[in-house]
Structures are given as C-alpha cells and as structure tokens.
Amino acid sequence: MKSLGRYGLLAAMALGVAGCAQTASLEVWRPAQIDLPGVERIAVLDFQGLENTGQIARSAVSAEMFNNGFYQIVDPAELTGHVAQASATDPPTEGTIQAAVEAARNVGVDALLVGDVLKYQVVDDERNHSHVHFINGGGGDFDHGMTDSFVGVGFENRYVETREATVALGFRLIDTRSQDVIATREVSFTQVGQRVNGQGYIPARETALAAATARCADEVVATLAPHRRPIRVTLVGGGLGKAGSEIRRGNKLAVAGDWNTAAGHWEAALESDPASHAAMHNLALAREAAGDYASACELLGRAIEIKPKQQYLEIKRDIDDRERQYRRAMAQHEHRSKPESAAKLEPMSGVALLPDGPGEFRR
C-alpha cells in the first residue's frame, strides 16, 4: 500500500473533519404581495363551490390568516341578521354582496374576502411499466486461455399508483368603505402521492385535498399579509483545532434549528481564531435569524476580506436582498395601523365587484 505521506495524511484528516456541506433551515420575512394600508379587520365569507367545498375553503383561509396574526379576523357570525348569504351552490348575487359589504361596514370590518372554489378534485392513476434489458457476462480459466460469455435478457415490471389532489381558489378583497375590489388573485396547488411496487405513500383522498387546500390558503395569506418563510442555507464546515471544533458544534445545533445556541459556539470559535472566515459566515446567518442584518453584513464583509470565496459573495447578495424584503415587511406592519394611510387605498384597475359566475372574474 502506498503511503499518503505527512501532508497527504493531514489533508485527508482535514477532509474528514470538515465533512460534507451541511444545510440548515432559516426563517425569513417576506412582505405581502399586495400592500393594503389601513386594513385591519377582515371577515372571510364562505367561498362559492360545490357541496361543502366553499365552507372548507373559508375555514382554511380564516385559520391561516388568524395564525399569521397580521389582521384581526372577524367571525362572519357577527354579520348574521344583517345579510342572508347565498347557498353554497349558487353564485353570489349583487344584492347578497352589497348587503354583506354594508353589514361588514356597520360592525367595523374594513374589508370583506369572498371567492370561488375553482377546482377541488382527486385524480387516481394506475399503470404497469415493463422494461426489457440485456445482461452480458463471462468467465473462464484465463490462465489456460479458456473463456466463455453469455447474453441474457431481463424483465422489470413496475406497478405505479399515483394520486393527485388539486385545489384552486379565486378570491377578491372588497373595501367596505369604498366598495371597491382592492385585491384579487387565483391560487392553486397539487398534492401528489405515489407508490411503486407497493413502496411509497399515497394519502387518503380527504388528507390530500386538505393538504392542497392548506397550501392554497397559505398563498392567500402571502398575497395579503407579511409572513415568514423557511429557506435552506449552507453552513461552512470547521477545520482542525479548537475553532474548528466549536464551528462543528454550532453547525450541529443550527441544523437542529437552535440558531441562538449555535451562535455562541461560533463566537467561541472567533475568540479562538479571530481570522476564522467560516465562523464569521455562519455567525452572519445566525445574526440574520435574529433579525440583526447590520451585524450579519458586517461579519460577511470581514469574511470576504479574509477570503473572497464565491460562496461568501453570493450569500452577501442574498442577505442584502432578504434585508430589503424584511424592511418592506416591517414597513407594512408599521403603516397598516396608521389612520391616514387608509385614504391611500385604490381599487384595482378595471376589476368589477361581481363575478360573472363561479371562477369567472370580470375585468
């Protein structure tokens, strides 16, 4: 066996210590896709849809908006006695929506969210796939010049079961003061489950539809309210010595989601080695997780000065972009409750109050 030599052994040890690149989940702020200054209280009515799908959609959207916490969600029951809602199978009439808007305004609701269930279906598919492949082999007594070979044919059967649950929602947000449509959007999501030769997972139809509905409701909230989203970030591994050991401890904690404790280990790594650009990079991500973008940018700037790696340059650009989105989201929090901002609401150009029918929005 050939010896690695002193330097080769050290290099192998360093690679073993560093290990593969690790990724961790980091939550960041995203602003609402549509600014709605002055809107604080929203009531969500049953969506129009077949059977009970409209009630299911309203329940999912209301739950997501309540969990988000940006708006105060008013129970539609507060409008009872003021408006008679259309049945779940009928499209809303002009009188129904006008009465609902007036009732909402009378109880201090700023906006009314109405919509349609455009799609709510599950499609199952079962297919058999057969694959033919050739097998080449050989052997023999090579020392005496005797060999043999063979060609075989193999068959592979794959029985594939697939379930796709698709939900699509269209919604409009109506300003109760002006009766204008101030936000409108369509969202959809498909939940896919698959099993191959009995291996895999196919959720129950109701479970798949519930998951797809929840994702649609999440997109409704992303349209109307600032929100947090998880992203994946890559951590830099540690080298040899005490600093490297502290970096690895911090990385393990960050992967588990404990950014605060991880930051303490990366700070200890910098105390041991003030020039550890890896510790600076990882600590910058921890500062971002805490919302301290100034410290995050300062740490990354120092890391780039020591070692201008492409990874550091790219993450610096990413953090700069995420900071802009964070500041916009915080500005939306600040401006929403200012009374003077309510007058700045403008209707969406060319959008009528009423739909022509379920899923068909006039423009």
DSSP 49-117: -STTHHHHHHHHHHHHHHHH-SSEEEPGGGGTTT--PPPTTSPPPHHHHHHHHHHHHHTT--EEEEEEE
Instruction: Return the percentage of the chain with pLDDT > 70, whole number.
Output: 76
On the question of pLDDT at 141 being above 70, the answer is no
With a CB cutoff of 8 Å and minimum separation 6, the contacts of 7 are none
CB 113 within 8 A of CB 43: yes
**pLDDT over 50 (residue 355):** no
Residue 17 has pLDDT above 80, yes or no: no
DSSP conformation class of 172: E
Report which secondary-structure segment, H or E, holds 122. strand 111-141
| 148 vs 91 pLDDT, higher one | 148
| pLDDT above 60 (res 139) | no
Tens-place pLDDT, residues 46-70: 999 999 999 999 999 999 999 999 9
User: What are 24's two structure tokens?
Assistant: 């961790």
Q: Which long-range contacts (CB under 8 A, 24 or more apart) does 131-140 make?
A: 131/155, 131/156, 131/157, 131/158, 132/156
Can you give the length of the chain in residues? 363
200-218 per-position pLDDT tens digit? 999 999 999 999 999 999 9
Residue 360 pLDDT exceeds 50: no
Lowest mean pLDDT among 18-27, 31-40, 121-130: 18-27
Buried b (16+ CB within 10 A) or exposed e, 24-35: bebebbbbbeeb
Question: What's the confidence (pLDDT) of residue 88?
Answer: 36
Q: Which of 348, 349, 351 is nearest to 363 (CA)?
A: 351
